[in-house]
Amino acid sequence: MDGRRGLCAGRVVVVTGAGRGLGRAHARAFAAEGARVVVNDLGVGLDGAPDADSPAVRVVAEIRAAGGEAVAHGGDVATNEGAASLVRTAVETYGGLDTLVGNAGFLRDRMLVNLAEDDWDAVIRVHLKGHFLPLKHAAGYWRAEAKAGRTPVARVVHTSSGAGLLGSVGQGNYSAAKAGILGLTLVAAAELGRYGVQVNAIAPVARTRMTEAVFAETMAVPEGPGSAFDAMAPENVSPVVVWLGSAACSGVSGRVFEVEGGRVTVMEGWRRGPGAERGGRWGVREVGETMLKLVARAEPPGAVYGA
């Protein structure tokens, strides 16, 4: 690993949830491109329960063994102090912060009628609050830098999901959290551009602990001649994240990219479709007849995962 001339040479990058899966792949990819990386992972199980080992420390060791620079952070980024200490770690260790990648999360899947309030709260907390609080503290740092005349070339990459874009049966809490991350991304892009910050999101499809049950039938690693490309490897997503986290993506903000295997797609989200204007208040029956006609002219919604 010699990132002295890499795309992110000299940049300081924070990756949350970077102990395994996608986060680990991102952290290693940033380091390979010359970034100094803060590897955050609370070290919990798939359901949020404490884990005895420290995956963040292991990833840091991997990066350093390859000649890169990294430091571990084990704080809970869904708490105000944990998120604040994450930004402090970057600034105090490496002298600044250039890129924030939000990736932390876990699952507690249930059908809606069986979904407990605690399971709703826990998933919303880790995914949505765990994206908001690091963003808030990073944005505060970047705003202060801009006001001091040191306008940053800052980047934020959030992690949503196809579940947030289309919904996913049995994942009402996860789908709501991931959809919320998309809304947060759009607002942040609009608010923070004046401070030199670009904010985008990805909707990745890859093999991780969180997706292995969902994609069990389609996630087999290819075998045999001509099968070197593993379409479900987390490492396939990281080039997109690294580019979005670099200075090279100037002018790209407020966008959502779906990334799967060797394919990347710009997702276009909610846009106004067919409409009708009456010039006054609708009657109930009249508006109903009009809405049926509008729905007939509109594009059908995408299929919900698992439906």
Tell me what the mean pLDDT of segment 181-203 comes to: 98
Show Cβ contacts of residue 87 under 8 Å, excluding neighbours closer than 6 positions: 14, 97, 134, 137, 138, 140, 141
Tokens coding 247: 């200075």
DSSP state of 247: G
Q: Which pLDDT score is estimated for 229? A: 82
Domains of the chain and any CATH numbers: 12-267 (3.40.50.720), 273-307 (no CATH)
Angle between helices 130-147 and 80-94 (to 10 degrees): 50
- Please confirm, yes or no, whether 178 is among the known catalytic residues: yes
Closest to 48 measured CA to CA, from 209, 162, 165, 232: 209
Residues 150, 144: Cα–Cα separation, whole Å: 9
Q: Which pLDDT score is estimated for 216? A: 46
Q: Model-level pTM?
A: 0.90
Phi, psi values for residue 55, rounded to 5°: -65, -30
Q: Which pLDDT score is estimated for 54? A: 86
Distances in Å between the alpha carbon of 299 and those of 181, 255, 303?
24, 21, 12
- Please confirm, yes or no, whether 175 is among the known catalytic residues: no
Q: Is the pLDDT of residue 102 over 80?
A: yes
223-270 pLDDT tens trace = 444 557 888 899 999 999 999 999 999 999 999 999 999 999 999 988
From the candidates 94, 178, 246, 253, which is the catalytic residue?
Answer: 178
CB count within 10 Å of CB 158 equals 25
Q: Is the pLDDT of residue 51 over 90?
A: no
CB count within 10 Å of CB 125 equals 15
Average pLDDT, the chain: 91
Tell me what the mean pLDDT of segment 46-74 comes to: 84
Q: Which pLDDT score is estimated for 209? A: 58
From the candidates 94, 141, 174, 305, which is the catalytic residue?
Answer: 174
Tokens coding 193: 């551009």
- Please confirm, yes or no, whether 161 is among the known catalytic residues: yes
Q: Which pLDDT score is estimated for 202? A: 97
205-220 pLDDT tens trace = 977 655 555 444 444 4
Closest to 77 measured CA to CA, from 90, 62, 66, 64: 90
Q: Is the pLDDT of residue 84 over 90?
A: yes
Q: Is the pLDDT of residue 61 over 90?
A: yes
13-43 pLDDT tens trace = 999 999 999 999 999 999 999 999 999 998 7
From the candidates 85, 160, 161, 253, which is the catalytic residue?
Answer: 161
